[in-house]
Structure 1
Amino acid sequence: MKTSLQLKIGQQLTMTPQLQQAIRLLQLSSLDLHQEIQQNLYDNPLLELAKESEHQLLGKEDKPQKEAPEAEATDLNGTDWENKIPNDLPVDVNWDDIYQPPATPRLSNNDTYDFDSVHSVTESLQDHLLWQLNLTPMSPTDHLIGENIIDSIDSRGMLTIPIEEIWSALDDDIELDEVIAVLHRIQQFDPPGVGATSLSECLMIQLNQFSSDTPFLKEAKILVSDHLELVGQRDYRQIERHTRFTQDFIANAIELIQSLTPNPGDSISNDDIEYVVPDARVIKVDNHWQVTLNDEITPKLSINQHYAQLIKRADSSQDNTFLKNHLQEARWFLRSIESRNDTLMRVASCIVQMQQGFLEQGPVAMKPMVLADIADRLELHESTISRVTTQKYLDTPQGVFELKYFFSSHVSTASGGECSSTAIRAILKKMISAENPGKPLSDNKLTSLLQDMGIQVARRTVAKYREGMGIPSSSERKRYNPNV
């Protein structure tokens, strides 16, 4: 085989570390970005929190990454800084988005905790019940029985093992009546209804804790103990036939039952609380909607001028190289944050411009909009729009919404126009809330009403939207009315 040299020209997309950092910061939520900033403050000595006086000098735009002119001219004119950092940091890409926004990680022991996470008490339902058991005066044998019963209670608060199996696992000298007595004692613990073996027993335990003079308590107990299945089916005619109760008695008794908790364990949750912090706000100023970023959620950063001035030109010592590298990383990090905020501002402003009807009238005026609409207006790639709208929230007069909420598919209208699926959901919700409880609107009737409004939609689509909003079917929404 003969050895030869060949010249080949090709194009290859290379993601520099700076571009990777910009893409990663762009898709982070405000809480994740705050943690990323804190981590960079720990790792990079050239970064520091900007002082309040510097904020006032920087003005409303607040660009803390600009160092003092003299320091930059003196320290960064060496041969190592001939390749200047570009003014515009690219954040747009034309390849498949392989970076997914990470979930908010839990803080380690070395990280800084906020006040709530340090001083809040998180415990499971079993811990809460054991705490009450330890405060209850009882014999050691009953305490042992109570521990076995609590171990058999699931996170919903229901007893998952028959009481006979719990009794068989204990000592032979313990009677079944003792186990049942301890179970009744635990069923009086907080939360009300805990330790029940069935839904009917759970609701009955809660009703027994009401005062005896509670209105319609007797009727509610009868419905729970003997006719709970009919209550769930909303078959009020059968309930009236079996109980001989009047319509008012049945309605008030069911209202009392609905105030109970079917899963008492849900009130004792050890899930961490997640707060939604808006990344931008929109307000109306002189009949124009104005978007502003929420600067309060992002700490203001600047370059440590003391360390920056220690950099010497044409000095390749280890300490000088360390400072140069970290100064470059600090400048790229600040530039990436600035580019992230600029892209977020552009996307939020474009969304507000296209959804002014929503800001004025609510979801019923939502316009159909997809990622390509924003991408074409801003001359960005759809993956960038998807990245910048994930876990980013906008504070509007209608409430706080994720930016992805404003994107929805379209449905054709009779006039040849388009209607947003979000607007259709709002219209359906408004129709159902105004319906006659004794004769609720069926999916076919809802479809006909939408068609009368010029919205062409199929019945199965109406059913899908209704189920997506958590609204039951017409038969389950029906309320008994003898006049209907």
Structure 2
Amino acid sequence: MLKQTQQQKLLQKLSPQQIQLMKLLQVPTANLDERIKEELEENPALEYGEEDTQEEDFNNNNDAAEDFNTAEEGEDDFDPDGSENEYDNIDISEYVSEGDDDIADYRLRDDNYPDPDENKTIPVRVETSFHEHLLGQLGMLELEDRQARIAQQIIGSIDDDGYLRREVSAIVDDLSFSQNVSTDEEEIKTLIKRIQEFDPPGVCCTDLRECLLLQLKRRDQDDPGVQTATHILENYFDEFTKKHYEKIQKALGLNDEGLKDAIGQIIRLNPKPGGNYATLNKAESYVVPDFFIFNNNGKLELTLNSKNAPDLRISEGYKEMLREYDRGDKKDKRQKEAVLFIKQKIDAAKWFIDAIKQRQHTLLSTMQSIMGYQHDFFTTGDETTMKPMILKDIADITQLDISTVSRVANSKYVQTEFGTFKLKFFFSESLSTDSGEEVSTREVKKILSDLIESENKRKPLSDEHLTKMLQDKGYNIARRTVAKYREQLNIPVARLRKEL
């Protein structure tokens, strides 16, 4: 049985301005210019405020006035709507008030930001991608057009690590359906063999073993170490990956020097032949600091990257159009629609500028709080001096929401005299000591990393041994916690850290 009811609910919804601010907070400095350009393209009422654009602004102003006058001259084409009340409801006083230059002076830069060096050219990375490098070598082969298309499909199927993990039968299907090229697996395999002769060595292989063997084939085959290394990869690959060197040594009858030479030949090979070629157009391939912290005789000084303070303003041309409308005696339908459009664009521009200003304020207040909380680290650079700090600690200081602090911490970087760090680096849980003092897990990880780095690689320390050493230093920590921290540091187990 259907039934209709009415309910009243109290819901909290984010305004468009709040959504815009949250999105801007997540944008790193490296991508902020691109985001501002997108807004400039979408909203003609927003523009940069550089001095060198004055002449262009003057021309734009004249064009805008002419466009508006054209609309005024064409009022005879429209029937007067006779609704003076509708016009009265269009309030443009805040945009045309004499002496009120808020819109024109909607500039974001102030004396707290370092002046950017306008004459300095920012270096741009220009690189050849991995696949472009392979296609360049393909052009040096004497292939028919059909074979070249097949080879291009094969190269396009190679992943960024340099491996061809797509089945040969699938490549045959791809060529048939997408390029209408009929081929078979034998022809594909023949071309794969030719591509495997390209640089870097080991490219276009299906697995790690084949990749390493292909690289060894380019070494001196008369070298006993190369011969033994090839034999190990061909017959004892599983034992090698698990570092069961004793089994390999016993099976091949090798002495310590012979085994060390062969293993040395293998570990010098490149397991990811495509990894040396950077992927273009990725913000992650380089880091642009959002903050700079300087130690001025023991006093920490925080500045925000000047790219976070763009000089934006409302278009003078759009303001002039409103003034023309305000001074005019005749108000037709076309002008009324134009004024409503102009107001919307100006309001949107003001919202965007306000969001940029709020972004600056949020970034500075968050980083200022982090700098104060981790003052000892920023003055010494010693990770063991870092305090336990969670998102809620900074949220309480800044009076911001935890989600806002999280957005800032996950995408922003700070440059110090000790290096450039992601803000997330400074957040860590606490761990108690024997004396009851709470220390940062970052401190424990640093000590754990130092212990492993200084261990005897012939006899690496087990997790149990590392746990006992940390407990002897006064840290209440369990073996499973040590294992978790070791994995977070991307350090393998003791058996895989063993060296000859």
SS of 2:445's equivalent in the other structure is helix
The SS at the match of 1:18 is helix
Cα deviation for residue 251 of structure 1 reads 2.3
Question: Contact between 2:163 and 2:206, CA under 8 Å: does it hold in 1?
Answer: no
Residue number among 404, 407, 411 corresponding to 2:427 in the alignment: 407
Question: How many pairs were matched up?
Answer: 414
Check if 1:39 corresponds to 2:38.
yes
Structure 2 residue corresponding to 1:418, chosen from 435, 438, 441: 438
Distance in 2 between the 1:195 and 1:18 partners? 50
Q: Distance in 1 between matches of 2:211 and 2:445?
A: 35
User: 3-state SS of the aligned residue for 2:322?
Assistant: coil
Q: Identify the residue that residue 384 of structure 1 maps to in structure 2.
A: 404
Which amino acid in 2 is paired with 1:241?
Answer: K
State the partner residue of 1:434. Answer: 454
Distance 1:305 1:145 in 2: 57
Name the structure with the higher helix share: 2
1:347 aligned residue (366, 377, 386): 366
Task: Check 1:23–1:175 CA distance in 2 against 1; reply closer, same or farther (3 A cut).
Answer: closer
**CA-to-aligned-CA distance 1:14-51 (integer Å, 9 cap, x gap):** 64433443343333333443333112222333322122
Equivalent pair of 2:168/2:188 in contact (CA under 8 Å): no
The letter of the residue matching 1:327 is: I
Give me the whole-angstrom Cα distance separating, in 2, the residues matched to 1:141 and 1:76: 68
Query: What CA RMSD, in Å, does the superposition of the two structures yield over aligned residues?
Result: 4.2
How far did 1:436 drift? 0.6
Q: 1:200 to 1:40 in 2, by over 3 A?
A: closer
- CA shift, 1:12, in A, is 6.2
Alignment of 1:57-68 (within 5 A): none
Alignment of 1:137 onto 2:103 = no
Quick one: which amino acid aligns to residue 298 of structure 2?
N
C-alpha deviation, 1:223, in angstroms? 2.7
1:123 CA displacement = 6.5
1:34/1:298 contact within 8 Å kept: no
Query: How far off its partner does 1:144 sit?
Result: 9.1
TM-score, with structure 1 as normaliser: 0.72
Q: 2:97 aligns with which of 41, 65, 77?
A: 77
Counterpart secondary structure, 1:389: helix
> Structure 1's 211 and 474: CA in aligned 2 closer, same or farther, altered over 3 A?
same
Q: CA–CA distance in 2 between the matches of 1:247 and 1:331? A: 74
Cα distance in 2 between the residues matched to 1:229 and 1:46: 66
Q: Report the residue type matching 1:136 in the other structure.
A: L
TM-score (norm 2): 0.70
Please tell me whether residue 398 in structure 1 is matched to residue 418 in structure 2: yes
Residue 443 (structure 1) aligned with residue 452 (structure 2): no
How much does 1:396 deviate? 2.0
Say yes or no: does 1:374 pair with 2:394: yes
Partner of 1:295: 306
Deviation at 1:338, TM superposition (A): 1.3
CA spacing shift, 1:433–1:146, aligned 2, 3 Å: same
Report the AA paired with residue 415 of structure 2: D
Greater CA drift, 235-244 or 347-356: 235-244
SS in 2 for 1:283: strand
Q: Separation in 1 of the partners of 2:394 and 2:287?
A: 24
Q: Which AA in structure 1 matches 2:163?
A: G
Show structure 2 runs of 5+ residues with no match: 1-6, 54-91, 107-121, 177-183
CA deviation vs aligned residue, 1:438-480 (integer Å, no higher than 9, x gap): 1111111111111111111111011011112211111221224
Question: For residue 289 of structure 1, what is the amino acid of its counterpart?
Answer: L
Aligned counterparts, 1:177-326, within 5 A? 184-196=193-205, 199-211=208-220, 216-267=225-276, 272-274=281-283, 275-296=286-307, 298-312=309-323, 313=326, 317-318=335-336, 319-326=338-345
Q: Which range is displaced more, 131-140 or 259-268? A: 131-140
Aligned pair in 2 of structure 1 residues 148, 358: CA closer, same or farther (>3 Å)?
closer
1:31-180 to 2 correspondence within 5 Å?
31-51=30-50, 75-77=95-97, 122=129, 124=131, 132-137=137-142, 156-158=162-164
For 1:157, the aligned partner's letter is Y
1:45-97 Cα distance to aligned partner (Å, 9 max, x none): 3322122589xxxxxxxxxxxxxxxxx9995439xx9xx9xx9xxxxxxxxxx
Q: C-alpha distance in 1, partners of 2:95/2:231?
A: 85
Q: 1:439 to 1:322 in 2, by over 3 A?
A: same
Gaps of 5+ in 1: 1-7, 55-71, 88-113
Q: Deviations over 1:324-357 (max 9, x none)?
A: 4433332332222112101110110110111123
Q: Secondary structure at the match of 1:334?
A: helix
CA contact (8 A) 1:152 1:161 kept: no
CA contact (8 A) 1:48 1:304 kept: yes
Q: Tell me if the contact between 1:447 and 1:462 (Cα under 8 Å) persists in the aligned partners.
A: yes
Q: Tell me by how many angstroms 1:309 deviates.
A: 4.4
Q: Which shifted more, 326-335 or 213-222? A: 213-222
